[in-house]
Amino acid sequence: MTGERKLYIRTYGCQMNVYDSERMAEALAPSGYALTDTPEEADLILLNTCHIREKAAEKVYSELGRLKPLKSANPDLKIGVAGCVAQAEGEEILRRQPLVDLVVGPQSYHRLPELEARARAGGAVVDTDFPAEDKFEHLGARPKASRGPTAFLTVQEGCDKFCAFCVVPYTRGAEVSRPVERVLAEARDLVARGVREITLLGQNVNAYHGIGPDGEDWSLARLIRALAEIEGLARIRYTTSHPNDMTDDLIAAHGEVEKLMPYLHLPVQSGSDRILKAMNRKHTAESYIRLIERIRAARPDILISGDFIVGFPGETEEDFEATLALVREVRYGQCYSFRYSPRPGTPAAERAQVAPEVASERLTRLQALLEAQQREVQQEMVGRTLEVLFEKPGRMAGQMVGKSPHLHAVHVSGGDIAVGDIRPVRITASASHSLAGELA
């Protein structure tokens, strides 16, 4: 363990990639790698990539092009592509960009030390298997060093839902849940290292069904209740959920588990039943709205966030207006909206496409509505006193930045605040992307 070699990782895509990047760095530490923020001094550069939309996938190739001079400057530099583009494109990456030495899919990260050694010995290496062994079991123990107050923890991975637009079932594979005791041990370990808030991750996190110590399948709700028993852990969040897996026990947990934060990311994609059917979402606009009502009955102040796709094949103006109507009814506090991007190998990519200028114009209208709602919901926080978990110093002297229970960024100046503190803050103002307040 020399620690003399430098590893640079660039992460794209969702939070699961952020978690995976941490685990990859840990997996490579025994091979002598320490993280660096400077690609110029790296001996190994890993791009942890995303394949969800065309733009995300193309970023990888432009980034690889930019790395070319580094490779000429340092002949020992190895370049690897990890993540969902690696899984989706495999060998094709080597054909398009011969400077790549290593391609590794998301289910093979535990093999990184061996793959890196092989790449160093000469010749490009590709591993995009879905191995029978569980990568988490083979990734080994996590380091003991102290760390920041918030952490991601992957509890479930993969997806069996096959929405007609989506690459995730192909890049991440079938749904797999980690055993309860592994999750609890990792959470206790994170808390011992200073973590106060854990966000449980999964492509369909609420489909979690890990095997418990009693030999039974535990639901996400049951897992959350067990996590809430951990002393020192103050906050629990989870993402991303699918409407069809929002079970009664999970809804009840939102009303009963104090540590479970009042924020729920529940993508709906469209407000038109015709389009939802074509997307293979297996729920209707009406069932989604009724579901939100039940969640709000359990936890009235919960902030709902969502994802939308506009311009899905076959979407008419009428379908799009149904989406706007759903948005008005739900009232979102946070949202992500995208123009449909045809992805190779997915059923919807083969269908007749909506004209790009029509889709762009709809996206503009939807985003105007969503932004207005977000501003309103954020504005309503002004005058309230909220518990804020402080994460880092702000840009101004003496300023600290933290997160409210509803995941709004909150800036506070003055007062004796340390990173990791949770303090009541009276919210005084709402800016475009954050709140300001003073210690109560």
Under the rule (CB under 6 A), what is the footprint of ligand SAH?
Answer: 52-53, 165-166, 168, 203-204, 240, 242, 267, 269, 307, 309, 338, 340-341, 343
Between 203 and 404, name the residue whose CB sits nearer to ligand SF4. Answer: 203
Between 17 and 270, name the residue whose CB sits nearer to ligand F3S. Answer: 17
Between 51 and 408, name the residue whose CB sits nearer to ligand F3S. Answer: 51
Inter-residue contact 134 to 146 (CB < 8 Å): no
Written as six digits, the tokens of 116 are 């890196």
Task: Give the distance, in angstroms, between the CA of residue 116 and the centroid of all CA atoms in the same chain.
Answer: 26
| 335 marked as binding residue | no
46 binds, among ligand SAH, ligand F3S, ligand SF4, none (CB under 5 to 8 A by kind): none
Among 90, 148, 169, 314, binds ligand SF4 (CB under 6 A): 169
162 binds, among ligand F3S, ligand SAH, ligand SF4, none (CB under 5 to 8 A by kind): ligand SF4
What's the residue count for the chain? 440
Residue 214 CB: number of other CB atoms within 10 A? Answer: 8
Between 51 and 299, name the residue whose CB sits nearer to ligand F3S. Answer: 51
Least separation in angstroms between CB 403 and ligand SAH: 21
# binding residues, ligand SF4 (CB under 6 A): 10
Q: Identify which of 343, 360, 340, 354 has the alpha carbon closest to the alpha carbon of residue 50.
A: 343
C-alpha Rg value of the chain to the nearest Å: 22
Residue 161 binds ligand SF4, judged by CB under 6 A? yes
Among 204, 334, 341, 404, binds ligand SF4 (CB under 6 A): 204
Residue 334 binds ligand SF4, judged by CB under 6 A? no
Among 47, 94, 166, 190, binds ligand SF4 (CB under 6 A): 166
343 binds, among ligand SF4, ligand SAH, ligand F3S, none (CB under 5 to 8 A by kind): ligand SAH
Interaction site with ligand F3S (CB under 6 A) = 13-14, 16-17, 50-52, 83-84, 167-168, 171-172, 203
Determine the residue type at 436: A
| 159 marked as binding residue | yes
Residue 163 binds ligand SF4, judged by CB under 6 A? yes
| 163 marked as binding residue | yes
Between 58 and 160, name the residue whose CB sits nearer to ligand SF4. Answer: 160
Between 104 and 292, name the residue whose CB sits nearer to ligand F3S. Answer: 104
13 binds, among ligand SAH, ligand SF4, ligand F3S, none (CB under 5 to 8 A by kind): ligand F3S
The annotation places the binding site at 14, 50, 84, 159, 163, 166
The annotation places the binding site for [4Fe-4S] cluster at 14, 50, 84, 159, 163, 166
